[in-house]
Amino acid sequence: MSSTTIVGKIAIVTGASAGIGKAIAELLVKNGAIVAGIARRVEHVCQHAQELAGEKGSLHGYQCDLTKKDDILAAFKKINTELGPISILINNAGALKMSGIIEGDIEKWQAVHESK
């Protein structure tokens, strides 16, 4: 990744509390981006932000349930106000609900789809 293209850019990473989202947020921070890490478990993002203090960029935690429109609108407004205009969006968040395709529960499929 060429860090010169993202230095100082505002990036949003959904699902930034663990796994792939956490790794993406870390990579962006180490390459100079200002990252808004969105998660339901925002305390994990805030802890990771402390661990990344002193890196080229920075990580900021924002609580948001991506299945709730009002949460999304509030989070994006707060990020724009606190950090500035958003340049990068990485939609990483997801949900896993085990269900068969034929006999499966449509509500489980809908919940997975809505988390994207």
- Give the CB-side neighbour count of residue 116, counting CA atoms within 13 A: 5
pLDDT at 76: 96
Q: pLDDT (tens digit, 9 = 90+) per residue, 15-69?
A: 999 999 999 999 999 999 999 999 999 999 999 999 999 999 999 999 999 889 9
Could you tell me the CATH number of the domain that includes residue 24?
A: 3.40.50.720
Residue 21: its H or E element? helix 19-30
- Supply the mean pLDDT for the chain: 88
Predicted confidence band of residue 93 (pLDDT cuts 50, 70, 90): confident
Q: Which range marks the domain in which residue 79 is found?
A: 3-114
Structure tokens at 96: 């896993």
The answer, yes or no, to whether residue 115 has pLDDT greater than 60, is: no
Comparing 95 with 78, the larger pLDDT belongs to 78
- Mean pLDDT of all residues in 90-105: 69
Total structural domains within the chain? 1
Q: Do 91 and 12 meet the contact criterion of CB atoms below 8 Å apart? A: no
pLDDT at 44: 97
- CA dist 13 → 6, 37, 76, 103 (Å): 14, 5, 12, 34
Comparing 82 with 112, the larger pLDDT belongs to 82
